[in-house]
Structure 1
Amino acid sequence: MAEIIAAPAPVTHSLAGDLPSDSAARLGIALHWLFRLGVLMEFVGHGAAGISLKEGWVRYFQVFGLDRPAALTAMPIVGAIDISLAILGFVSPRRWALVWCAFWGLMTASLRPISGESVWEVLDRAGNYGGPLAFLLLSGLPHTARDWTDPIRWRPVTRATLKRLSVLLQWVTALVLIGHGAYGALLQKRQLLDQY
C-alpha cells in the first residue's frame, strides 16, 4: 500500500512534450502554486488598502463621478471584492476570475493617468494585470463554457506553454521596469526619491 501512495502519477509524453515527465509535472505544480500565491498576495494587498480607506485612492473614484464621502463608502466594498477574488484565486482558481483580475488590474492602473497622474503608473503596475494573465496562460485557454467555471488544476508544462509564458513575463517585467525607471529618470517622483 505504501508503494502505491508513494509512487508519482505517470505523465504522458503527449502532455509533457520533449520535457522529461517528472520535470514537466514538478514545474507545472510549482508554477501553478506560484501564480495562485501571487494572485492571493496582489489582491489581498490592494483589498486591504481599500478597506483601510486609502486617502490617495479617492481621486480614482472621482473619475466615475463619486464625491469624497461616496468614494470612502465604496472603497471598502471594492476592497472586500478584491479580497474575495484573492481567496477564490488561491483556494479554487477559475479562469473567469483570472480574466476579471487581469481586467480589474489594468482598469485600476489606467485610472491613474485618467485622474491626472503619469502614464508611467500604468506600466509600473503591469504585474497587477500581467500576473493573472500569466496564470491564465499557464492554465490553458478555455475551449468550452465549462472551462471558464471549472476549478483550475495544475498540469504538466509543455515547451510551447513555457515559451508563451516566457514572452508574456518578459513583457510584464519590461513594462514594470520602464514604468518604475521613468519615475526617477523622467518624473523625479518624490515618493521614490524619499526612499533613498
Structure 2
Amino acid sequence: MLSTFLNFKSLEFILRIAVFMTFLGHGMFAIGGNANWLIYLQTVGFSIETSKSLIVLIGILDVIVALIILLKPHKYIVLWAFVWAFSTAAVRPLAGESIWAFVERGSNWAVPLVLFFLLKIKSEKKLKI
C-alpha cells in the first residue's frame, strides 16, 4: 500500500511539473506578445488589433493556470488546461500549418488530461495523498 501511495504521489508530482512548465513557458511567450501566435487568434475570428491585446491576457491566464496546477491543483482547472492546450494545438492546421504541428503538441494536451483523470480518481476514492 505504501508503495502504491508513493508511486501515485510521484506520478501526480511529475505530471503537475510537466503541465506547469508547459503553461509557464507558453504564458511567458504570450506575455511577450509572440507575433507568430497572432495568426491563431485571427484564424478563429479576432482582428489583428484585438489579437495583440488578447495574446497578453492569454499569457497571464496561462501563468496563473501554471501556478495553480503546481501549487494546489484543482481537477477542473486541469481540465481547462487540457481543453486549452488541445484547442491551441488543433488551431494550427486550421491556420494553414501541417497536421504534424498538431501531432507534435500531443503531450501539451495529453499530460493535463492524464493529470485530470488522476485527480478525479483521487477525489472519488477520497485518497489522502
**With structure 2 as the length reference, what TM-score do the two structures score?**
0.90
**Aligned-partner Cα distance in 1 for 2:70–2:119:** 14
Alignment of 1:55 with 2:35, yes or no, is: yes
1:127 counterpart letter in structure 2? S
Residues 124, 22 of structure 1: CA spacing in aligned structure 2 closer, same or farther, 3 A cutoff? same
Residue-pair matches, total:
128
Q: 1:23 & 1:63 partners in 2: Cα distance?
A: 48
Task: Tell me: CA distance 1:30–1:154, structure 2 relative to 1, closer, same or farther (3 Å).
Answer: farther
Match among 70, 76, 85 for residue 65 of structure 2: 85
Partner deviation per Cα, 1:145-170 (whole Å, 9 max, x = no partner): xx59xxx9764xxxxxxxxxxxxxxx
Alignment check: 8 A CA contact 2:76 2:116 kept: no
Q: Secondary structure at the match of 1:140?
A: helix
Q: Following the alignment from structure 2 to structure 1, what is the Cα–Cα distance between the partners of residues 101 and 42? A: 18
- 2:109 matches 1:132: no
Mapped contact 1:63–1:115 kept (Cα < 8 A): yes
**How do residues 20-99 of structure 1 correspond to structure 2 at under 5 angstroms?**
21-99=1-79
- 1:29–1:154 contact (8 Å) kept in structure 2: no
Name whichever structure is richer in helix by fraction.
2
8 Å contact from structure 1 (residues 32, 154) kept in 2: no
Alignment equivalent of 1:105, drawn from 62, 85, 91? 85
Backbone CA RMSD of aligned residues: 2.0
Question: Is residue 89–residue 105 contact of structure 2 (8 Å, CA) maintained in 1?
Answer: yes
Confirm or deny: 8 A CA contact 1:28 1:154 kept in the other structure.
no
AA in 2 matched with 1:43: F
Runs of 4+ off more than 6 Å: none
Structure of larger gyration radius: 1
- Structure 2 counterpart SS, 1:53: coil
Separation in 1, partners of 2:77, 2:90? 19
Counterpart CA distance in 2 for 1:96 and 1:40 is 15
User: In structure 1, what is the Cα distance between the partners aligned to 2:101 and 2:128?
Assistant: 33
Give ranges in structure 2 of 5+ residues lacking alignment: none
Answer whether contact 1:109 1:122 (CA < 8 A) is retained.
yes
Mapped to 1, the partners of 2:113 and 2:99 lie a distance apart of 21
Counterparts in 2 of 1:77 and 1:66: CA distance versus 1, 3 Å: same
Q: Is the 8 A contact 1:51 1:76 kept in 2?
A: yes
TM-superposed deviation, 1:98: 1.1
